[in-house]
């Protein structure tokens, strides 16, 4: 899928500099950033769900420990 990405001037300059430093394209850095965000948010969702389950499982004990 094609899309347009509108960055502020300072973002464009920082991205361009980082791409030059890493020897990759700006496009590659943006794709990596999207992949990192998706992986991190998926992991956070799993952790959040596990925490809810464990809180429910141990609710009585947690209440007694207050």
- Burial environment of residue 30 by CB neighbours within 10 A (0 to 12, 13 to 18, 19 or more): middle
Is this prediction's pTM over 0.85? no
Which token pair is 55? 């809180």
Tell me: the pLDDT tens digits for 30-65? 999 999 999 988 778 777 888 888 888 888 888 888
Indicate the SS3 state at residue 43.
Answer: helix
**Rounded Cα gap, residues 29 and 57, in angstroms:** 42
The pLDDT value recorded for residue 66 is 82
Q: Residues for the chain: how many in total? A: 66
Q: Angle CA(49)–CA(54)–CA(60) in degrees, nearest 5?
A: 140
Tell me: the pLDDT tens digits for 9-34? 999 999 999 999 999 999 999 999 99
């Amino acid at each position: 899928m094609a899309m347009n990405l509108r960055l502020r001037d300072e973002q464009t300059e920082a991205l361009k500099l980082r791409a030059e430093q890493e020897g990759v394209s700006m496009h590659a850095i943006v794709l990596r950033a999207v992949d990192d965000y998706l992986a991190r948010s998926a992991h956070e969702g799993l952790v959040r769900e596990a925490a809810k389950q464990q809180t429910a499982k141990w609710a009585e004990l947690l209440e007694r420990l207050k």
